[in-house]
Structure 1
Amino acid sequence: MNHSTTKDGGSTTGPVKGDTPSCNRMEWTKKDEEVKGIVAKLDQMVPNVHFTDIMTTTSAQKSEATLLNNKYFYCVGDPLLVQLDLYNHLGKRKEYGGDFLQARIISSSLNAGASGSITDYRNGTYLVNFTLFWPGNVKVSLMLIHPSEGVSALWAARKKGYGKIAFVGTFLNGTSTVSSDCGYNITVKERCDYLDERDQEAFYCVKPNNVSCDALIRLKTYNEKVTYLTDLEHSLLNRSNIGCNIPQSFGTFRVIACKGKKATVAEGKCGAGMSYPSPSGFVWKNEWYPVFCRVLSFRNLKRIKSCLKRKIIYLLGDSTLRQWMWYITDKIQSFQYFDLHGTGKQKNMMALDMKRNSQIQWKKHSHPFVTVLEYMTADHSYIAREIDNVAGDGDTVVAVSLGHHFRPFPIELFIRRMINIRGAIQRLLVRSPDTKVIIKAENTREIDIDQERFGDFHGYAQYLALKDIFRDLKVCFIDAWDMAIAYGTNLVHPPDHVVGSQIDMFLSYIC
């Protein structure tokens, strides 16, 4: 990454291109077009509607759920079809779609759950298709997370700027330090540009007087008192208007194992480049069962140790991958943490198992890393650059996950980052086709957080973009989004039993 000082405002959302080789300009143009294309696809899914009265927005309580294939009992493997007809608070039928819904089936006594596939007919009617994966008594949960008007407002607000998060940089100045504003929207004349021109990545700081731009040593963030929503739009984001249950006249369904019928669950090994349906699996007895391959259970310590023997594992991204590292090293206590120096909770980590010649390391992704805790800037870089430094072989594993830290910013930032990571993975697989690459989707999170900054609608848009970007690449995919819905966990850091299921998938791919 190039560090430089600029004396003119320049672009604030990407590097200054200047005189560059024509091949770079062609790559930039191609990448820009792909970014625009993915945003356009998302635009088509999001309604562009405005409202002046909250009573005209979608009401979960006024809406209706109708069972389309009512039976006395159902067989394992049968579909369960539910039609949703949505109405506003005045009791008038909605004439357009775009509501952000969540649907799941549950058997609490069996610790079982699965998401439903939702089809939006764009006229206020939705079809929810569940697959009945297990025998027992099954209930349906239908939730309106955001009305279409709220979705429209959130999407429009996300496009309006980078101002919701403020970055504070600490620069070393001799024996003392000085703080300065940093971020994506720094327009002062004396500015430090931190540019990756190849990948069109950029970050900026206000240059402190008589201090080198190279002296940036730490960063932290805080939430700015900035909103791109009106007071009326904010009223849709009150907790009482988020995640409301849609009434249903039907109750519990009886599902039995019928002769000659079973759920569609594949028996083949989990591998790269597979097709990932929706839903991608189900939870039963608190364990995850994908429908496209046979996951192995790695709750047995001997099996985990055997799987990880001689493995070099790079976990690159956010703290949901750091949970993987904690989970594995807690299970296999022969892993010992190696002191990489650095300070604070966000420092990079490495653990070694000398007996089995195994290594695991977690590295945080580069800007934007949103945290009130200061972290070192010298020990992190863009994930694409990290992957470019991986030699790779049949015992090397690269796992990538990021998303939560990008939710407060225009989605182009996330899309461009993932395209750059895809390019690095393609280069890795050319020089080392046996290297295992795992992409973990982000998961849902708490429903009572600041929805404009961190709400799940933003995460869902990124989830769709992620699947689009990697759809043709021979990588392994862990659908943490679908898993979170099936488990019914809405925590940015899922509990151990959910992380354990993610690890089972991870180890099934690499072993």
Structure 2
Amino acid sequence: MGQFKSYKILTVGLVFLVLVLCFMMPWPEPMIHWLPQPSTVPEYVSESIDWDSLPQELPNLTSLLYWPPTGEDRDDFLASTSPRTSTYCLKGPAHTTFTLGSNLEAILVARDHRGRAKVHGGDLFRAQLLGPELRAGVPGEVKDLKNGTYLLSFPLLWAGRAQVQVRLIHSSEAVRVLQRVWREKRATVDFRGYFRGTDGPLETVICNVDPQSTGAKGPTCQYKDVVSGESWFCAQPSTLPCNALVGHSSGSYLKVTTSHDEALLAGNVTDQKLPSGVPPILVLPATQGNMSNMGQKLTKLVYSVLRLEPRASNIIALPSRPPCSPGHLSPKPSGFYYQDRWHSTFCSSRSFPTVDSILNCLAGRIVYMLGDSTLRQWWEYLRDTVPSLKPVDLHVTYQVGPLMAVETTRGTVLHWRAHSWPLRSLRTPVASLHSVARELHGLAGGPYTVVVLGIGAHFTTFPPSIFARRLVGIRAAVKALLDHEPSTLVIIKLANTGYKSVYGSDWLTLQVNRLLRAAFVGLRVAFVDAWEMTSTLNVPDNIHPRKLIVRNEVELFLSFICST
């Protein structure tokens, strides 16, 4: 037994040494042979993006992304739903105390700015039951009755005081604007491609997900990923060939709305401009710029403070739950906060309060985190929390990665890499952009391999079919990995709440998360519902949540690795 243990330690050590040497090796400069070979395509020739056409792996978009009718398209701003006049009250007889483990229901009546009751649904409300004294919170279910009223339902999961809070995120009229933009616009942002010749000349052009969105007057360059089949397009430079592409960055936020649209999205009668020099995607808090009414709390509260009486000696309602394991979708709600800790409602999530508890869980594991900056927060949290996890300097762009941290005594390796195009980022080498499918294709997998995927936020600026097709390639790669090595743990992090503009809003993110869930049905993967975890506490919305929320996300992630 001792010899086997020594052999296992030696094996993990050798694997770790090889990984470090591979990443620290001084690769020659022109190391971009993996880049898909570009080709020149005629002007305005590309695969059409059809709202209703989907690959067979996903259900029909129209049914998957169904939203209740939002009424007639009118120019009267005062007829849009207002958080100042909408009201809600408890359903049934009023009580001052409620029983732990039961449900609380309320009826919400949406009203316009004139105080008139709405006769259709389609508003995006967010409801929470909060326990400020206990640092507790649980998301409420909002059922659209399609007649201007909404049924709110809250599970009562802790003993003590609780307060109902309801916010109007988007009026039905604003949702209609988002629907129109998502269906009719090929893209709401563009990107920059940087080309360099052998003798030093540099050209910058517009790039995007299809040729039309590059604005090219002539031919375009197409870059097709050799694994996923996804294509990227750049306007062909005037003097340089397509294979001279060396750099990528964010571009412009395109004008896709009218002043009336913007007023509806902002919730203001007067059309105010965003702060000078700040792109809308960066205006995150609901109290900043012209977003002052977006996400505003409903002001007329009825029976908002309640007392929850405990059942016997219980203080929280948590039935017996199985260990956290992949293979099934989480229910609604997937969990709740109590004393600043997230408690899963479908599995026995654990707390990892010490450095040793985290290290013991990650011992011998190689973790690959592939996605956006909200997933990079997990990598940063672990790096900052565990002093012995040492970052390896790979001399790469921090915003895109790859990033790597290692813990030599326990044989732990943590990777993070951004997903490829479309990626809103500072200027970065094209060689650093690897598709998620391509990265998964290169993994051997096994019982000590953990893969975390966190994608979605960068896809709200395109029609849903763009994200759906990307997910088809990723799903195929995940399925191939699990077929080859079923013991590999794959975790899907859903997208956060936090964005508040036509380029990325909670309504758009909600649709992205529906696609994410649908894409992995039938596969043995686990989900971390970051949508609920970032929208349940009474804290300002932020696409990059505070450390408290990130810690709870990471602890749920660790609970799937170390379920007992």
TM-score (norm: length of structure 1)? 0.91
User: What residue identity is the alignment partner of 1:455?
Assistant: S
Is the 8 Å Cα contact of residues 39 and 412 (structure 1) preserved in structure 2?
no
Secondary structure at the aligned position of 1:267 is classed as coil
Of the three residues 167, 170, 176, the one matched with 1:146 is 170
Note the C-alpha offset of 1:218: 1.3
Aligned equivalents of 1:344, 1:509: Cα separation in 2: 28
Change (3 A) 1:488 1:414: farther
Tell me which residue corresponds to 1:19.
none
Note the C-alpha offset of 1:13: 5.5
Residue ranges of structure 2 left out of the alignment (5+ in a row): 1-34, 267-290
Is the 8 Å Cα contact of residues 265 and 290 (structure 1) preserved in structure 2?
no
What are the residue-to-residue correspondences of 1:106-255 with 2, within 5 Å? 106-176=130-200, 177-184=202-209, 185-186=213-214, 187-196=216-225, 199-227=228-256, 229-238=257-266, 239-246=291-298, 247-255=300-308
What are the residue-to-residue correspondences of 1:395-434 with 2, within 5 Å? 395-434=448-487
Tell me which residue corresponds to 2:402.
348
Of the three residues 310, 319, 322, the one matched with 1:257 is 310
Of the three residues 44, 65, 76, the one matched with 1:42 is 65
Tell me which residue corresponds to 2:505.
455
Change (3 A) 1:240 1:309: closer
Aligned equivalents of 1:35, 1:9: Cα separation in 2: 30
Instruction: Compare the two structures and name the one with the higher strand fraction.
Output: 1
Q: CA RMSD in A?
A: 2.2
2:372 counterpart of 1:299: no
After superposition, the C-alpha distances for 1:228-267 in whole angstroms (9 at most, x for unaligned) are x232221112224411222222231001212287624443
Note the C-alpha offset of 1:274: 2.8
Aligned equivalents of 1:312, 1:197: Cα separation in 2: 25
Change (3 A) 1:316 1:198: closer
What are the residue-to-residue correspondences of 1:305-454 with 2, within 5 Å? 305-371=359-425, 373-447=426-500, 451-454=501-504
User: What residue identity is the alignment partner of 1:377?
Assistant: V
Secondary structure at the aligned position of 2:349 is classed as coil
2:116 counterpart of 1:95: no
Aligned equivalents of 2:123, 2:531: Cα separation in 1: 18
User: What residue identity is the alignment partner of 2:391?
Assistant: Y
TM-score (norm: length of structure 2)? 0.83
Aligned equivalents of 2:327, 2:41: Cα separation in 1: 47
Aligned equivalents of 1:496, 1:306: Cα separation in 2: 22
Tell me which residue corresponds to 1:8.
42
Aligned equivalents of 2:439, 2:327: Cα separation in 1: 22
Is the 8 Å Cα contact of residues 58 and 89 (structure 1) preserved in structure 2?
yes
User: What residue identity is the alignment partner of 1:445?
Assistant: G
Secondary structure at the aligned position of 1:421 is classed as helix
User: What residue identity is the alignment partner of 2:560?
Assistant: Y
After superposition, the C-alpha distances for 1:295-317 in whole angstroms (9 at most, x for unaligned) are 11112111111111110100000
Secondary structure at the aligned position of 1:487 is classed as coil
Aligned equivalents of 1:102, 1:468: Cα separation in 2: 22
Change (3 A) 1:465 1:207: same
Is the 8 Å Cα contact of residues 51 and 57 (structure 1) preserved in structure 2?
no
How many correspondences in the alignment? 493
Residue ranges of structure 1 left out of the alignment (5+ in a row): 16-28
Aligned equivalents of 2:68, 2:442: Cα separation in 1: 38
User: What residue identity is the alignment partner of 2:551?
Assistant: G
2:524 counterpart of 1:474: yes
Is the 8 Å Cα contact of residues 46 and 155 (structure 1) preserved in structure 2?
no
User: What residue identity is the alignment partner of 2:295?
Assistant: G
Aligned equivalents of 2:57, 2:332: Cα separation in 1: 25
